[in-house]
Amino acid sequence: MAAAASHDVTGRAAHGALARQLRLARQGRSMLFPFIGRSARFEIWVHYPRHDAIDATGRWQFYFHAHDSAEPDSARHPQEHGHIHLFRRSPQGRLTHFAGLALDARGLPLCWFATNQWVTGERWSAATSLVRELARFELRLRGPLAGAGLWLGDMVRFYATPLRQMLLQRDAALERHCARHRQTPTQAWVDRRVAVWSSLPVNWPQDALSAAGPLTQ
């Protein structure tokens, strides 16, 4: 029964994410539009939305931005246009990086990734704490980013199982790095040789199409 329920959740999430992208595509728009479509000019490093998006519960925060493509970055996907940073938010407003999602110029997902602490200045949490959030993950917002929040929530739920592995691999990679370089975790978190501890390539929308079945919308 548990496996069937999990499959149902995955299928609904796949269908939801695909349907939202399809509705935008019929308007000649991509998943980038909710973030940057209303801006007169797109600027690298700037957060879209400008002051980040915070869900109705106050537990989650996210934004889209892009790095300078001229700067060498071995951790960046070669087709990446920009990426979403998703954070868990404490009642005091302190942020823990949950996952990043790279998008190409068409707004299609390329990969998930788990960053080092210095990249976002996050408050580090163990993967065992973060993966507990996957089973009940949800984003609810009002305004222009409401649809993008629902889409991102569907993406997290659809990839929940591999995201769990990615986060656990993040901590395992940190542990190996500390042993190899004789560093404490605190030292490793600020080691600029490491920007990304682990990543999860995705094949979108093929991954979702195989789970969701035919779309009728």
Report domain extents, the chain. Answer: 35-146+161-202
Q: What is the pLDDT of residues 138-177, one digit of tens each?
A: 999 999 999 999 999 999 999 999 999 999 999 999 999 9
Half-sphere exposure of 168 (CA within 13 A, CB side): 10
pTM over 0.85: yes
- Would the pLDDT of 128 be above 90? yes
Structure-token match 């801006």, residue found = 39
Which pLDDT value is given to residue 214?
Answer: 57
Which pLDDT value is given to residue 211?
Answer: 80
Q: What is the pLDDT of residues 49-69, one digit of tens each?
A: 999 999 999 999 999 999 887
Mean pLDDT of the 117-144 span: 94
Report the distance separating Cα 33 and Cα 35, nearest Å: 5
Reported confidence tier of residue 28, pLDDT bands at 50, 70, 90:
very high
Report the distance separating Cα 215 and Cα 193, nearest Å: 44
Q: 3-state DSSP call for residue 157?
A: helix
Closest CA to 95 of 63, 60, 70, 67: 60
